[in-house]
Amino acid sequence: PASFINPNNELVLYGVAIPASGGDSISVRWNVVSCGNLNLANALTGATSPELVLAANTLPPGISCNISFTVTSGPASSSSSSSSSSATAFISLNVIDRPRGGRIIVDPSQGRAMSEYFKVCLPDWGVTSDADLPLTYSLSYQRSTSAGVLWPDSTIGYIGASSLSSLRNVLLPQLSRSGDNTYMRLTATISTARGASSTITSDIITVLPALSFTFTNLTNIFNDATNNGNNDDAIIILGNGVSMLFGNSSYLSPYEYDQLRYMADFIGPPSVDINSLNLQASIIDALSHIPALHGSEWLFNLTSIFMTDLSRSGDRDLLNSPASKTIFDSIGNLITSSNSIIINNLVNELLSAQVEHAVCGESVSIVTHHIATLGVKSCDLARLNATIVSAPGIPSEITLSP
């Protein structure tokens, strides 16, 4: 039977080639029997390799594909009297279709940061199979110029994910600290029940600077969201509000400190859903950039839990995601000499997780740079390096330096 393939994912096909007799040489080749406009010249591996790797978004969505794998076996030398022979195997793939035909509408196109709601409408999205229902969507924003050109290094802010509805009201942050207007675009990712997705980006949105935004405003908006059961919105509001109010603050009042800690409890445990993890990462990032929270034990421990849980998950997609990188990088902002012992213990946890989930050595490259982020700020590099060198499965050349 044909396999169902998500066109958003990388596809790896393995062919097994066995020579007709022990001394024969063999050659292999992949061919497209039928698969729309698929061209194996664009494969990440050659068509004459036993392993065929097609990059994400290479397969045409919504069609059936037939691919063949041919093995030719022949004599190892020209002096042999035996002739060559070949055999061909076929694989059928059903490529899941993406959502189609929809739009994104944002109204109004201009509004005040953190006080005026923007209505996001996503009408007319459809699928070709009921097996792809229900649809879900996630929203993100990215800063742009007034002409709508995205800033190359601008931070992507995640607004949340939920079942697809006709309308969603969102608050947007003030990204400009100079009091100027902020220009941004909203991007919606619409996903099917089987994981295929499409993205669409809005026209330019102008976010006017907030006329007045205080910590009281933030707590009121946050409490309204949580009281209405909108925890995703609460996390978004917290992240945006924290960045606006405390981005450069070296001092927090006891009330502000306690309230931020209370709000952070809504982050919850690390999610295995990438959209939810994006939200969690955005608030951890916002909190970690507040100078007044550097050295905060509760925030350091919260971030550490995320790091170890992600490392122990063995999920390379999550570990390599921008959200995971944000969380791992955030802890670098929180490290002080007072928690160097915690750092050592955390690095040991990461090493253990790395060994536990090593697959052909690939996980070494995934987690090692996170270990280095901690190690270079630790007060006990000698101990860390000794741990790394003695850990099974870790290359001896991986060491940390100040």
pLDDT tens, 27-72? 999 999 999 999 998 898 889 999 999 998 999 999 999 999 999 9
Q: Which residues contact 324 (CB under 8 A, 6 or more apart)?
A: 277, 281, 310, 318
pLDDT band at 212 (very low <50, low <70, confident <90, very high): confident
Q: Say which residue, 303 or 81, is predicted with more confidence.
A: 303
pLDDT band at 399 (very low <50, low <70, confident <90, very high): very low
Q: Say which residue, 222 or 331, is predicted with more confidence.
A: 222
For position 195, what pLDDT does the model report?
87
Quote the CA–CA distance of 107 and 156 in Å, as a whole number. 20
For position 289, what pLDDT does the model report?
83
pLDDT tens, 309-320? 777 776 767 777
For position 108, what pLDDT does the model report?
96
Instruction: Give me the residues paired with residue 140 across strands.
Output: 158, 187
pLDDT tens, 83-120? 788 899 999 999 999 999 999 999 999 999 988 989 99
105-138 burial: b if 16+ Cβ within 10 Å, else e: ebeeeebbbbeeebebbbeebebeeeebeebbbb
pLDDT band at 138 (very low <50, low <70, confident <90, very high): confident
pLDDT tens, 238-273? 888 888 888 778 888 999 999 998 888 888 888 877
**Residue 214 confidence (pLDDT) above 50:** yes
**Residue 298 confidence (pLDDT) above 80:** yes
Instruction: Give me the residues paired with residue 161 across strands.
Output: 138
Q: Are 239 and 282 in contact (CB under 8 A)?
A: yes
Q: Are 310 and 349 in contact (CB under 8 A)?
A: no
For position 361, what pLDDT does the model report?
37
Percent of the chain with pLDDT over 90: 26
Residue type, 315: D
Q: Are 213 and 158 in contact (CB under 8 A)?
A: no
Q: Say which residue, 357 or 61, is predicted with more confidence.
A: 61
Tokens found for residue 249: 């603050």
For position 393, what pLDDT does the model report?
46
**Residue 392 confidence (pLDDT) above 50:** no
Q: Say which residue, 159 or 401, is predicted with more confidence.
A: 159
pLDDT tens, 143-193? 888 887 877 666 677 776 666 555 678 888 887 767 789 999 999 989 899
Quote the CA–CA distance of 173 and 184 in Å, as a whole number. 10
Q: Measured in whole angstroms, how far is the alpha carbon of residue 45 from the centre of its chain?
A: 25
For position 37, what pLDDT does the model report?
92
Report field, pTM of the whole predicted structure over 0.85: no
Q: Say which residue, 177 or 220, is predicted with more confidence.
A: 220
Dihedral sign (CA 141, 144, 150, 153):
negative
Q: Which residue has the tokens 């050349």?
A: 397
Q: Say which residue, 38 or 337, is predicted with more confidence.
A: 38
100 φ, ψ (degrees, to nearest 5): -135, 160
Q: Which residue has the tokens 């063999």?
A: 26
Quote the mean pLDDT of the chain. Answer: 78
Quote the CA–CA distance of 51 and 41 in Å, as a whole number. 14
Tokens found for residue 370: 């996170």
For position 155, what pLDDT does the model report?
63
Q: Say which residue, 221 or 297, is predicted with more confidence.
A: 221
Determine which of 231-240, 260-269, 283-292, 320-329 has the lowest per-residue pLDDT on average: 320-329
